[in-house]
Chain A
Amino acid sequence: MSAAVFSNRWLSPSAWRNLFRDWPLLPLMGLLLVLVIVIQLADPGIVTLPWAGVIMRASVPLAILGGCQTLTMLTGGIDLSVASIASMTGFVTATFVHSPGGWVQGMAIALVAAALAGFVTGIGVGIFRVHPLIMTLAMSFVVLGFANVWQLQMVQTGAGVPGELRWVGSNTLFDVIPYSLLVFVPLTLLILLGLRRTGFGRLLFAIGDNPIAARLSGARSWQVLIALYVLSAVLAGIAGLVISGFTNTASVSLADPYLLPSVAAAVIGGTSIMGGRGGFSGTIVGALILTVLTALLTVLGLPEPTRQIVFGSIIVVVAAAYTRVTSES
């Protein structure tokens, strides 16, 4: 149905623009569909239910990390520490497999550490007014440093990804539905509901749209920002556990390749980096688009540099399209 709306109206620029602005999900779904069709044409027979399961499984961690970017970008910020934090939680959890407390204890410790990192970031951004880009970049180095210290401590004990995480991250039901959805679906509902129906969600949009108005209405943005960066860090930590189960690896730089795609997923999904505009549903579709695109470029057998160029160009084009349709003329 979305495809019908998409193709009937796209000849009229203003109708197309209004559609894009009021229902940003429709054109995104359309783009996703086009990519799926192209990949099917490029490699006939590739698109099957199990293939869809593979795509979903690969998209889940990216979508969660994209969620971190969405939430922070709504306030006009960004979270560049998600990759370090995700790697750290996966790694720390893995080092506890052989300890008396088991991996569950390790996971708890790792998530508390993540929350602590987010808390410090929140204080930096919210109280000391350090730009989120700088603050989270710095925090990513600090977290990486601590993870490396931990690695040196744990070099004798040995590590391994717990079986339960491997099950969640890699296994699928009937070869189609990935078990990571058990983590992802509740998180998604929580984020969507939180953004739409809670005071906290309203404040994220308010601070991003107009910090002065939020302040004049009595919002203490530092409280919101601290809570936000703790939330973002914990989400990143959960994503790290899924990634480590998905790849069956634990290393202090495991999630690094996800960093920029997580920002890209949020941007493609229609979240404005200037704040105040966007949402998580777009980010989920954005993550799916990026995953299918990667698959497509691999199927086409393009060399790595070409893939990077195409990848970057698509992000730029989509972001530019958003700027065009969302700015009032």
Chain B
Amino acid sequence: MTVTTDLLLEATGVSKAYGAVVALKSASLAVRPGEVHALLGANGAGKSTFVKILTGVVHPDTGRIVVRGKERTAHSPAEARRGGLMSVYQEPSLIPDLDIRANLRLTNTPLEPFRHWLGQLGLTDLDLSSLARRVPLASLRIIDLARALAIEPDVLMLDEMTAALPANLTERVLEVLKTMHGGDRSVIFISHRLIEIAAVCDRATVLREGETVGVVDVTVGSEERIVELMLGQSVEGLSARTGDVTGPESRAKTATPRISARSLNSGTRLHDASFELYPGEVLGVVALEGQGQDELFDILAGSSRPKGGELLVDGQPVSFRHPADAIRAGVVYVAADRAEALLMQRSIRENIALPFSTRFRSWGLIDLGKEHESVDGAVTRLQIDARAGGEVRRLSGGNQQKVTIARWVAGGVRTMLCFDPTRGIDIRTKTQIYRLLRDMAEAGAAILLYTSELKEVQLVCDRAIVIFGGRVVGEVSAADGDEPTLLRAAYNLRSEAAVPEAVAAMLGSSSSSADASTSAGSSRPEVQQ
């Protein structure tokens, strides 16, 4: 095969809009043969849409994708694979009820190269006739990778493949990736861990707001450049605060915390979460995707039970078996996904009044007068535009989100957990929600706010905790919580970027990577532990 271009894969001017929402404006990516190329972007930068387009899951509106000099139009992952691009995801794509051999046959995987790569990856004792569901999850991820390597695609895309892999296996994967350097084939590597990117990648393409904003040669100290690119210019200084910024110190720390979490552990992604939430404060939670924050909120909201650790509400140890227990203890939850929180076919009124009728003793006749009063109060307070009327599904996203909050405001809030409440809604509604959260905190409520928009920390929070790898690794006060600081903290990055050391720490230690990150966190200067 003659290579007519010096690029193995080239994507230019790729865009994609979902209705009025532009997910990707103009993304480009150029991958040279024999390089490991990182693709980076903060939440909402369009990374996942770009990945879906590259792998053929989504068809772009505009743009060209050229592989080995030939233009490619893939309409399905299978076509993309025939075009030379193969992906491995965080979740293994093996069929659980088939044995490994049958799974390999499904994708026409040659057996000998598969065994070779399996050996390279350190998985030598695999019985090919065992059912996929009996194989441990970590091994399945390795099998998935070995299968992709055995097919020898031109471009191998690893999408957060190492996110849930134990440290020793991550190490083997990174070592195998290093052997790809200088060959004929390339790897696109997507990871939240900048340390891994520093260890194996040659170059990094950074996306922001749907555009490719830069390509960086990964060398010592390039993290700073990457973080800068991801952030772009700092956004407007909109503030929801009415009074002075009150630091947590000035608040009555003598008050009993509304929530005390002590080493909460979900058994899956959350390993060790300890923090206190005081009345009258908004406590931010900062974390990259999948660091255990979902599990933490599920535990606090009573949706799932912790595997370990202790949870105290108002100083009393609690063990929630159902969200109803949490609600009775005064802990209410505003879910991120509105489709999860709303009765789409019912009215605004019924949605807001739903918690009123959940208890057995309120199954009887509804006092409509009283209900109207509290529902109308909440509708007014949140400025819900009720003109759309009728079913909640006909409301705009912002109004829907307000309904999910109004549901709890109507009954009076003591402690509220908000999981990314402003995701995907317009700026006006966002401001209203910020103001509401501040007002509630001023009135004595305690609010825990996970946000994927880092600037919200300075806008609404008093302080923020940072979760990385399932652990609370630090705390930042709102005054110090500018975006670069928070993003560095979220990546668990030291500000004096001592990359070789960090890599050495990770590659050299046989302990789990999470341990390494805790120690890294404790020595971070601008972050209080």
Contact = CB atoms under 8 A, between A and B. Distances in A.
Interface of A: 197-200, 202-203, 205-206, 209-210, 212-220, 223, 227, 276-277, 328
Contacts of A198: 357, 363-366
B308 to A, nearest CB: 24
A217 B323 contact: yes
Contacts of B355: 217-218
24 contacts: A199-B357, A199-B363, A202-B350, A202-B354, A203-B363, A205-B346, A209-B346, A210-B344, A212-B341, A213-B340, A213-B341, A213-B342, A213-B343, A215-B322, A216-B301, A216-B335, A216-B341, A217-B327, A217-B354, A218-B327, A218-B358, A219-B354, A220-B322, A227-B363
Most buried by B among A197, A198, A210, A214: A210
A292 B327 CA distance: 50
A199 B346 contact: no
B43 interface: no
Residues of B contacting A: mostly: helix
A167 to B, nearest CB: 33
Contacts of B344: 209-210
Contacts, number: 90
B303 A216 contact: yes
Contacts of B328: 218
A204 B300 CA distance: 27
B361 to A, nearest CB: 9
Given A197-B365, A276-B343, A276-B345, A203 B393 contact: no
A209 B303 CA distance: 19
B353 A216 contact: no
A214 B340 CA distance: 9
A200 B324 CA distance: 16
B21 interface: no
A329 to B, nearest CB: 12
B343 A209 contact: yes
B323 A215 contact: yes
B364 A206 contact: no
Contacts of A220: 322, 324, 358
Contacts of A210: 339-340, 342-344
B345 A212 contact: no
B313 to A, nearest CB: 15
A212 B404 CA distance: 13
Given A199-B358, A199-B363, A202-B366, 4 more contacts: A202-B357, A205-B346, A220-B322, A227-B363
Residues of A contacting B: mostly: helix
Interface string B323-341: 1100110000101000111
B333 to A, nearest CB: 6
B180 to A, nearest CB: 43
Interface in B362-383: 362-366, 368
B366 A216 contact: no
Contacts of A214: 343, 354, 358
A218 B335 CA distance: 13
B364 A199 contact: yes
Nearest to A219: B358
Interface in B412-447: none
Nearest to B394: A328
A202 B368 CA distance: 13
B407 interface: yes
Interface in B297-326: 301, 303, 322-324
Contacts of B357: 198-200, 202-203
Contact of B340 (A199, A202, A212): A212
B358 A216 contact: no
Contacts of A209: 343-346
B175 to A, nearest CB: 43
A277 B407 CA distance: 21
Contacts of B354: 202, 206, 213-214, 217, 219
Contacts of B345: 209, 276-277
A205 B343 contact: yes
Contacts of A213: 340-343, 354
A209 B346 CA distance: 8
B89 interface: no
Most buried by A among B333, B344, B363: B363
Contact of B324 (A202, A203, A212, A219): A219
Contacts of B322: 215, 218, 220
B356 interface: yes
